[in-house]
Each structure stands twice: as structure tokens, then as C-alpha cells.
Amino acid sequence: MTPHLHEEIRQLLSAYLDRELTQAEEQRVRIHLEDCEECRRACEELARLQELTRSLDFEEPPEARMKELEKSLSVQAPRRLGWLFILAGLAAWLIYGAVTWVRHWRPPTVEELIASAVIIGFVMLLLSVVIERLRQLPHDRYRRIER
Amino acid sequence: MTATGFMETNVMSPATEGESGAFANFFERSRRKAYSFALHLVGNRDEAMDITQEAYLRLHRRWPASPGEHDPTAWLYAVIRNIAIDHMRRRARRPEDGLDHVTLRCPSAGPEAAAERNELARQLWEAIGNLPPGQREILLLRDWHGLDYGQIAEVLGLSMGTVSSRLHHAREKVREQMRRFLR
């Protein structure tokens, strides 16, 4: 066996252990390992190393923060849907109001006044939240997190 | 936590991820590994948790759009890596590789054997820590996180050939340093 062949097989050992070689390459390595004790030992050492690395035991993530994250993730979908409804409702109401205004102007009904008051109040609340958030933003350590 | 548990549950068919509750299952199965990956990258617990949190929130935001198009594991790791790089760039510092994060699991061994195993873990982690960052990352992604070459290539934006070659060099270097423990 030439040193060149040893080197070539050595370079394939890692992928051989990971089952990432083609069938032909795998067979070539297997045949070589049957005859070459040195490469076989290298292969066994690499396998042992893999096993040791797998058994390294790292610390667990902080459970309280994980629970917090889980909760935050669970409200994402309804929150998104809620925003969608609010925006769609506001847009529809504005279009309806504009069309009514242009087509046939008449004094608004009591129901329309009440609905408009609710919507205006809601928009003002939203604006107040946005303004408050913008004021807090420079001091928020989680500001870069997409919510 | 060891790599074995995750590797058993790491096999996810993207097709099944479209089903209801798929994200919750994915989160449950991958969160510990995700945190460890972030910790390996930045070496700071608080920052690692922040990065993990940000990564899942990003994934969740885009999850329903195309559940079948991504390999969720590779996607998660790629997002974590990008956020971690961003964090390190902003703070202009390198990862803090703390050896105190690591002990070898040894549930039934006595104190003496446990001490030996811990020493072995310390030596191994030191050898892994001595690798160039690019090689260390690939070694851990393959051997501890259980990603295959295709997934690693996707996470790191490399070709499969480069992944294979770097992994080979990384393992050879660690084997050289750990030889007396491997025989």
C-alpha cells in the first residue's frame, strides 16, 4: 500500500463514519480498513471521539425564560389575526364613510355616530400605545427582538 | 443535556411540519439545542437566551407562509447564527468560551469515576476550543447537534465538500490532542 493511498483513505474516514460517502467510496474505504491496521485504528479513534463529543453534557437553558418565550409565542397568532381584523374593519369603515359622503350627504344616524365614536376612541388608544412605546424604546433592552 | 436525545428527535419531515401545532412541537424538540448553539457562539448565558428568543420569534413570524419549503432545523440554526454574528459585531468582541459550561454525563458512576469523566470532558472541550472557529463550529454542529452535511452546508452557506474537508481537519486535530484518552 502506498502512503498516497493511506492519505486518501484518511481523508475519507470522517465522512465514512458519518455515512456521507458514495457507495463506491464507502466500499473502497471498507476494503482498505480490512487490510490496514493503522487506518483501522485511526477510524476507531475517530469513532470514539465522536461518541465522546456526543456525550458532552451542556447546561440547560433557564426554564423561566423558556416558559416566558413559550407564552409569548402562543399569543402571536391570535395577536396577528386581531390586528388583521382591526385594520380590515377600519379600512372598510373609512371606505363606507367616504362613499356615503360623496354619494348622498345626509346627517349621520345615531348608530353611525356611536360606531364612529367607538372607532375614533379605539384609534386614539392605539396611538397612545404607539407613542408610549416610542418613548420607552431607547431604554428597552429587548428592542431588537421582533415580536 | 446530551446530543443523543436531540438526535433521536431531530428527524423532522418538512411535510409534517405544516400540520397544526407543528411549530409548538418543533419548539419543544429543538429549544435546548438552540440555546446551546447560541451559547457556543457567544459564550454568554443572557445573550444566548436573548438570541434564542429572537430566533424563535422570527421563525414563528414566517412559519405559516411556507412550512414545506424549509428544513426547519437548518433554518433555525442559520437564524441563530445570523443573530449571534450581529450581536458580536455590535459589541465588537469575540465569543467567551467558558469551559465551566461542560461536564460529561455520568449518571451511575461514583465520585472517582465522575471526576475522571469530568477531566476527560474538560480535555475534550479544551481541544475543541483550540480549533479555529470555523472548524469548531462544524465539529459541534455535526457531532453534538446532530446535523448532517447538507444541513451544515445550508446553515453556514458552504459547499458540502468544504464542510466535509473542514470536519476532517477538525477531527484530526482533536484526535491528535486527545490521542492518549482514545486508546
Interface test with B, best of A56, A66, A80 (most B CBs within 10 A): A56
Nearest to B175 by CA among B133, B135, B141: B135
Task: For the domain made up of B98-183, give the CATH fold.
Answer: Arc Repressor Mutant, subunit A (1.10.10)
Domain-by-domain residue ranges, chain B?
1-96, 98-183
**Check whether domain B1-96 has CATH 3.90.25.10, yes or no:** no
Residues A69 and A126 in one domain: yes
On the question of pLDDT at B183 being above 70, the answer is: yes
For A72, nearest residue in chain B (alpha carbons)? B57
Domains B1-96 and B98-183 in one fold: no
Residues A69 and A113 in one domain: yes
B27 with B57: CB under 8 angstroms? no
Contact residues on chain A for B4, CB-CB shorter than 8 A: 54-55
Q: What is the pLDDT of residues A67-126, one digit of tens each?
A: 888 887 777 767 777 888 888 888 888 888 888 878 877 777 888 888 888 888 888 888
Chain B within 8 Å of A111 (Cβ-Cβ)? no
Nearest to B73 by CA among B157, B150, B158, B163: B150
The answer, yes or no, to whether ipTM is higher than 0.90 is: no
A35 lies in a domain?
Answer: yes
Mean pLDDT of the region B53-64? 84
Residues A50 and A71 in one domain: no
Question: Grid coordinates representing A27?
Answer: 466500499
Determine the structural domain holding residue A122 and report its residue range.
63-139
Model confidence, pTM: 0.70
For chain B, how big is the Rg over CA atoms in Å?
17
Mean pLDDT of the region B97-123? 65
H/E stretch holding A43: helix A37-54
On the question of pLDDT at B1 being above 70, the answer is: no
Domain count, chain A: 2
B141 with B152: CB under 8 angstroms? yes
Residues A124 and A88 in one domain: yes
pLDDT of residue B69: 65
